[in-house]
Amino acid sequence: MAVSRRRGGRSRLIVALLVLTSLTLLTLDFRDSVLVRQARDAAGSVFSPLKGVGEAVSAPFSNAWRGITGFGDVQSENDRLRERVAELEGQEVLNAAAAQQMLELTAQLDLEWIGAIETVRARVVAGSASNFAETIDISKGSRDGIKVGMPVVNGAGLVGKVVQVNARRCTVQLITDPEFAVGIRFLNGVTGTARGQGRGKDLIVDTRLAPGGADVPEVGAAMTTSGIDKSVFPENIPVAKVKETKEAGGGLTLNLVVSPMADTEKLAFVTVLLWSSGL
């Protein structure tokens, strides 16, 4: 009996120590401790090759499975994409001329323009290992000039931002992640903050607009990053379109439900903007 009681006391002591250690780590992480950052960096360099090995081993099987289950879809999508590519090739010539003019004008006016930012193109190599973090891993890292905080886009718009970087790969937090927030602006100048709500869900924009006001954006209105002072993102990256409006704050303000421009569930390639906010 005495032995059992002593053992129970020891067990509880061990658990108490483990809980205390966890709480200490959480506190250190919350305070953005250098120690925690260094530990994550070191772990990242160890885990990165492990991920590579796992992907190399599993890729043939998962590709074969996708090929078997999605052959019909792939074929019809391929036809649609060919048509779209032909259409876009025509537009590209016009866009290139417009982009050149824009670059010259912004240079003259000493303004920043997104088309002038240096970029790195990367392949999406893995999804999130956790069911709670909406992230992707991409095939470029610090060797290519990528740093934590850099914006990630695709042809449609904002995809997310870099949250972890190793030498050869990095982790991108997607705009749908519940922890993601970005300052946005509509064409009519209305600003707000768009926040992720989780996988496959639309974003919510908090605004200070009054319901029924003249400046309430219409359904379908597009918004871009605001790029206001000390923003994490440069301005004018397309973010989302308004899907519906909802009253909030007891009917005093409006929240907008917005659909992201970029389809974060079907990403194959993304572009990292080598841009830092300087914070």
Nearer to other proteins, 242 or 272 (CB): 272
**Residue 145 in contact with other proteins, rule: CB under 8 A:** no
**194 Cβ neighbours under 8 A, 6+ residues apart:** 175, 181, 182, 184, 203, 204, 205, 223, 239, 240, 258
Per DSSP, the three-state class of 57 is helix
Alpha helices (runs of H) in 110-239, residue ranges in sequence order? none
Shortest distance (Å) from residue 94 CB to other proteins: 39
Give the C-alpha distances (Å, rounded to integers) separating 57 from 52, 63, 137, 139, 225. Answer: 9, 11, 17, 17, 39
Please tell me whether residue 47 binds other proteins under the rule CB under 8 A. yes
24 binds other proteins (CB under 8 A): yes
Q: Identify the helix (H) or strand (E) that includes residue 183.
A: strand 181-186
Residue 69 binding other proteins, by CB under 8 A: no
Show the binding pattern over residues 196-235: x = contacts other proteins (CB under 8 A), - = does not.
--xxx-----------------------------------
Binding residue for other proteins, selected from 22, 38, 45, 95, defined by CB under 8 A: 22
Contacting other proteins (CB under 8 A), which of 14, 74, 85, 105? 14
Q: Report the distance separating Cα 168 and Cα 45, nearest Å.
A: 9
Q: Footprint of other proteins on this chain (CB under 8 A)?
A: 10-11, 14-15, 18-19, 21-26, 28-30, 36, 39-40, 43-44, 47, 50-55, 57-58, 62, 126-133, 135, 163-164, 171, 173, 178-179, 198-200
